[in-house]
A = this chain, B = another copy of it.
């Protein structure tokens, strides 16, 4: 590397690390807002976040940063592979940011809290009409973002690309279209079975401090580093932060023990990803997640592939009994395992099981794509929702609160976000299948409580590369195959066929 290129690269690194520190300060303020912030502080926090957003936008679009990117791109082979990744991924974000006018970003920021407020009111009163004008506004704004970013096939593509670099609506559609009939058939077959899990045992009263201790125990088993993170409570569980400060939140409800267990395993999976980067690359794309879909694959792997497996509970169930002797005295693993794998079509996405979950995503993907493409007027959305749900799951929401108003995403302007949940489920199954090939006796290890072997495998194969590969390339590189629905389908088949009888 020439002295000139080296100096440019170091200046570039200084700038992206400064940006990273500003982003992580924002993450910290967001964490606080959801956990400990006093209620009256909301307007002050909004002011802090707006000020920081302004600084971040200014620095991301700084002409000097673009000039450095140009110089480093021109330097070509002078940079090593890592340097080229840093430049490639930073350019991606810089170009996206430069394309969207600052005024449009600010208008979206101002609209978000109002849209959310009206969404909340609409949901409380189960009255979609209260939210409709705000949803229309948000769709129009995001459509303007899509136009500013540019696209070849559909304005949905550049929105999706923000969360899943390189993904397209056509590709997502192909995958979900393949998935759809098979999940529908599987859901019907399970509904026809006569198995009735002992659901009541999940609704017994499990004291919150015990749930908290059990959640911490689960995270310790997974290898989550509590000296580089924390576990707190938030109304909607999330994980935030990077490398040395990765904070998890979960929620506890006495009569819903599974809520905390699976939220903790899910968030723990996200957290292992963020703790798993190479500290040498702090503040660069090489210590950042490849995509939301890959992120979700890590949370779903721990929540579903591990956390809802018989192998895992052969290890964990005696501990659960030790934490909650009174609640589990008359319960056996043979009761527990079917109960936590109860498959039933319902109206609510966040309560859905492993089989029906992706059908909820298919519904949202199709509707939000039609909204953004202008094929579905907002006024027709509730009807389309209910019709779609009936076709997919055979259920009908009693009102819009439990239907089209259940998720906050659209009120926040998150279009193109839902598909990453489905991709995460598919990637999780495909990656876990590779892990079972590459980690000797993986299921036996889980049974013996060795969760760290899986963590180490994921650290090495998925976490440490950061953004070295685009998501699809990462999946191909790790699993040796194109992304496919077959792994999820065969996992579900293998698991639920013996549980619910011989429909495989």
Contacts and interface: CB of A to CB of B under 8 A. Distances in A.
Interface string A199-212: 00000000000000
Interface string A244-255: 110100000000
A47 interface: yes
Contact of A245 (B41, B52, B230, B283): B41
Name the prevailing secondary structure of the A interface residues.
Answer: helix
Nearest to A225: B40
Given A28-B28, A43-B244, A45-B245, A38 B283 contact: no
A228 interface: yes
Interface string A23-59: 0110011001000111111111101101110110000
A165 to B, nearest CB: 25
Interface stretch (A14-22, A82-90, A179-187): A14-22
A243 interface: yes
Nearest to A37: B245
B245 A44 contact: yes
A465 interface: no
A244 B38 CA distance: 8
A40 B228 CA distance: 5
Q: Which of A17, A28, A42, A243 gathers the greatest number of chain B CB atoms within 10 Å?
A: A28
Given A18-B51, A45-B245, A227 B25 contact: no
Contact of A40 (B25, B52, B227): B227
B18 A244 contact: no
B245 A40 contact: yes
A424 interface: no
Nearest to A247: B38
A47 B21 contact: yes
B21 A50 contact: yes
B18 A54 contact: yes
B47 A230 contact: no
Contacts of A227: 38-40
Number of copies: 2
Contacts of A323: none
A226 interface: yes
B36 A244 contact: no
On chain A, which size bracket covers the interface?
35 or more
A416 interface: no
A41 B36 CA distance: 19
Interface string A367-390: 000000000000000000000000
Nearest to A35: B36
A229 interface: yes
Given A25-B25, A48-B25, A38 B230 contact: yes
Contacts of A242: 44
A272 B474 CA distance: 55
Contacts of A43: 244
Contact of A48 (B21, B40, B42, B44): B21
Nearest to A27: B48
Nearest to A55: B55
Contacts of A37: 245
A47 B39 CA distance: 29
A22 B51 contact: yes
A176 to B, nearest CB: 38
A32 B41 contact: no
B51 A228 contact: no
A22 B52 contact: yes
A245 B37 CA distance: 8
A25 B41 CA distance: 12
A157 to B, nearest CB: 33
Contacts of A230: 36, 38
Contacts of A20: 47
25 contacts: A17-B47, A18-B51, A18-B54, A21-B44, A21-B47, A21-B48, A21-B51, A21-B52, A22-B48, A22-B52, A25-B29, A28-B32, A36-B36, A37-B245, A38-B228, A38-B230, A38-B244, A40-B225, A40-B228, A40-B245, A43-B244, A44-B242, A44-B243, A44-B244, A55-B55
CB-CB nearest 8 A-B residue pairs:
A41-B245, A21-B51, A40-B228, A40-B244, A21-B47, A25-B48, A21-B48, A44-B244
